Structure 1
Amino acid sequence: MSIRIGNSCINCDNLLENENCKVHGVKVSTSYTCDSFEMKAALKNDPNCDTCARYQGPTCANPQKATPGMLCSHWAPQNATA
């Protein structure tokens, strides 16, 4: 069994704005993936505080130290916008 980090619906080109899959016609979440997965043409892969979903939020692991450009082991990518 392989582990695939980026193959969730959030990174799939078939995900519509209302969190529905245009291939299967069902509501999905970030934990779903399938064999019809089509990677979005361009993902932002710039791991630092500026692109972290936790930056300046309640789940930031280093709120007193976090600054733009910094990277920590708790980095969580922000949602890609189409």
Structure 2
Amino acid sequence: MAIRLGNSCINCENLVEGNTCKVHGVKVGNSYTCDSFEMKQALKNDTNCVSCIRFEASDCANPQKAAPGMSCNHWAPQQASA
């Protein structure tokens, strides 16, 4: 099963400094979500071998096939931030 970014407050453009929701005016955490969710436009869905932490590493699931532009079920981000 793949891990994906969800509709949580951490990925919402309404999250402001101090983990506060600017729509509801309350402090929120990683597991919060609501109907006013708006995905941050800065997030990218660039899940291919070049952006995978395992690319050309010993723990790559498909070292013989891994190539730029190719995707697989074992992809993991090189760096993640919220």
- Counting matched residue pairs gives 62
Alignment partner of 2:52 out of 48, 53, 64 = 48
Q: Which residue identity lines up with residue 25 of structure 2 in the other structure?
A: G
* 1:54 corresponding residue in structure 2: none
Provide the TM-score with structure 2 as the length reference. Answer: 0.53
Question: Would you identify which runs of 4 or more consecutive aligned residues in structure 1 move more than 4 Å?
Answer: 71-74
- Is the 8 Å Cα contact of residues 9 and 37 (structure 1) preserved in structure 2? yes
Aligned equivalents of 1:18, 1:72: Cα separation in 2: 34
CA distance in 2, matches of 1:17, 1:49: 29
Structure number with larger C-alpha Rg:
2
- Alignment check: 8 A CA contact 2:52 2:75 kept: no
Task: List per-residue Cα deviations over 1:9-65 (Å, max 9, x = no partner).
Answer: 011000012100000111111111000001111203345229xxxxxxxxxxxxxx5
Comparing both structures, which one devotes a greater share of its residues to strand? Answer: 2
Matches within 5 A, 1:1-80: 5-45=5-45, 46=47, 48-49=52-53, 65=58, 73=74, 75=76, 78-80=80-82
Gaps of 5+ in 1: 51-64
Q: Is the 8 A contact 1:8 1:31 kept in 2?
A: yes
Question: Residues of 2 paired with 1:74 and 1:41: CA distance?
Answer: 21
One-letter amino acid matched to 1:49: I
Root-mean-square deviation (CA, aligned residues, Å) is 3.4
TM-score, normalising length: structure 1: 0.53
> Which residues of structure 2 form unaligned runs of 5+?
60-71
Paired AA for residue 31 in structure 1? S
